[in-house]
Copies of this chain bind each other. A is one copy, B any other.
Amino acid sequence: MTQHQRNMSTPIDPVKLDRLAEVAVKVGLQLAPGQDLLITAPAAALPLVRRIAEHAYKAGAGLVMPFFSDEDITLSRYRFGPDASFDRAAGWLYEGMAKAFTANTARLAVVGDNPMLLSGEDAAKVARANKANSMAYQPALEKVVGFDINWNIVAYPGTAWATLMFPDDSESDAVAKLADAIFSASRVDNDNPIANWTAHNAALRQRTDWLNGQRFRALHYSGPGTDLTVGLADGHEWVGGASTAKNGIVCNPNIPTEEVFTTPHALRVEGHVRSTKPLSYQGTLIDDIAVRFEQGRIVEAKASRGADVLNKVLDTDEGARRLGEVALVPHSSPISKSGLLFYNTLFDENAACHIALGQCYSKCFVDGAKLSPEQISAQGGNKSFIHIDWMIGSGEIDIDGIGSDGSRVPVFRKGEWA
C-alpha cells in the first residue's frame, strides 16, 4: 500500500491540471459539438492529454485523435539513424492532417519537451530534418496559419524542461515549480478560469481597438542596440486574445497569451535590433541575436551562441530573412514579472515585445480571410516555411507609432503602454 501511494504521487496539482485541460477545450479551442480533435503531445504529457480527451468528449467531440512524440525516440534517430534519414519526413501523415483540417478537425498542440533536446546533436542534421519536416508539414500548417480551423497550444511540465529551468532543484521540485508557473501564466490558478479568460480577452481587445483606430504606417523602436523602423503591411489589422477562425469559431490559439500583434511589411523594415532574451529554436539556444535590415531583408546577422543554426534558419527560403509578425507585450506582463526564462516561445514571447521571421498570419489583415495569397503578398505579407518569434522588448524600449503623415504617437515608454 505504501509503495502504491508513493508511485501515484505527483508534483503536479491534479485540480489545476484538469482546469488547464478544461480551458484548452472551452477557451483555447471552443470545440464545437461533433468536431473531431487532433492532438499532438509529448508522450510524457499523457496525464494532461487524458484530461483534455475527457473534456473534449464531454463537449461533444466526434473523435479525439492524439499523436505522441517521445524525446528518447527522437534522440535515437540522431544517434543511430543513417544519414539519409535526415532528409525524410512523414509526408503521408501531414497530407492526411491537411485533409482532416479541411474537414473541420480542430487542432491542439501540447508542448513540454526539453527545449535543449537537440543541442548536443549535429547542427547540419538538425537543420536538414527540420527543413524536410517543415516542407512536408506545409500543407497542414497552411490551414492552421491561415486560421481555417480553431486551434490551440498549451504546455505540460516535462521533466527535462523543468530541470533546465530550475537546475538547482530536485526533479520533483523542479516539475512542481514549472507546473505552477504554467498554471499561473495560463490563468488556471483561480476558481473560475473560464470567467477570468473572458475578462482577459476583453482587456486585450481594448488595446487592439485603439491600435486599429490609429492606422499607423510604421513603428519605430529605440533602445540599447536597437534603432529599428518596422513598416506595417497595407490593410494590416492588430489582433490579440480571442479571435474568429474561418470556420466561425471564436478561439484562443495560444494559452498563455499576453500579446497584441499584426503584420509588418515584408519590404519596409530598416535599421538594427538586438534580442533581449535567448531564443530556443528546436533544441538549440540562440543568444544575443543582432541583425540589420535593409528594405525588409536581414543583410547581417550575428549571435553570441547558436549563430550557425541562426544562419541556416535564415537560409531556409527567401522569406526567412523577412518579418511576418510584430507583437507588443508590456514589460509588466505576468510572465515577464515571473522573471523566468522558459526557453519556450509560447511563454517567452508573452514576456516581451517581439518580432517573428517568416510566414505572416492572414488574420492580421482587414478581411484577411477573403484575401488570396497573391493579395496578401501585394499588401506586404511575408511568405516562408518558417515562423520564428524572438524577443526584442525590455524595460528600456520606447516605441512610437508613425502616422501616414509622418506624425509620431507614443505607444510604449520604458517597456510599458504609453
Cβ of A192 within 8 Å of any chain B Cβ, yes or no, is: no
Name A84-109 residues within 8 Å CB distance of B: 84-85, 88-90, 92-93, 95-97, 99-100, 103
Measured CB to CB, the closest approach of chain B to A83, in angstroms, equals 10
Q: Once the chains are docked, how many angstroms separate the CA of A68 from the CA of B57?
A: 19
Partner of A61, one of B46, B72, B81: B81
Please, which residue of chain B has its CB at the minimum distance from the CB of A129?
Answer: B63
How distant is the Cα of A96 from the Cα of B99 in the complex, in angstroms? Answer: 10
Of all chain B residues, the one with the shortest Cβ separation from A94 is B96
Task: Determine how close the nearest CB of chain B comes to the CB of A128; give it in whole angstroms.
Answer: 13
Are A65 and B93 closer than 8 Å at their CB atoms? yes
Q: Beyond A46-B70, A95-B96, is A65–B90 a contact (Cβ under 8 Å)?
A: yes
**Complex contact A54–B76 (CB within 8 A):** yes
Asked whether A7 is an interface residue with its Cβ less than 8 Å from the other chain, the reply is yes
**A36 CB contacts on chain B under 8 angstroms:** 88
Q: A57 contacts B70, CB within 8 Å?
A: no
Q: Per DSSP, are chain A's interface residues mostly helix, strand or loop, or mixed?
A: helix
- Please determine whether A68 and B43 come into contact, CB atoms closer than 8 angstroms: yes
Closest CB in chain B relative to A101 CB, distance in Å? 10
- Using known A-B contacts A66-B70, A90-B65, determine if residue A82 contacts B33 with beta carbons closer than 8 Å: yes
- Is A206 engaged at the interface, CB distance under 8 Å to the other chain? no
Q: Which residues of A contact B (CB under 8 A)?
A: 3, 6-7, 33-34, 36, 43, 46, 49-50, 53-54, 57-58, 60-68, 70, 72-73, 76-77, 79-82, 84-85, 88-90, 92-93, 95-97, 99-100, 103
The 7 nearest A-B residue pairs measured at CB: A96-B96, A57-B80, A92-B96, A57-B81, A92-B99, A53-B73, A68-B68
Sample 8 A-B pairs with CB under 8 A, ordered by A number.
A6-B6, A34-B84, A43-B46, A57-B85, A58-B80, A62-B85, A65-B93, A96-B96
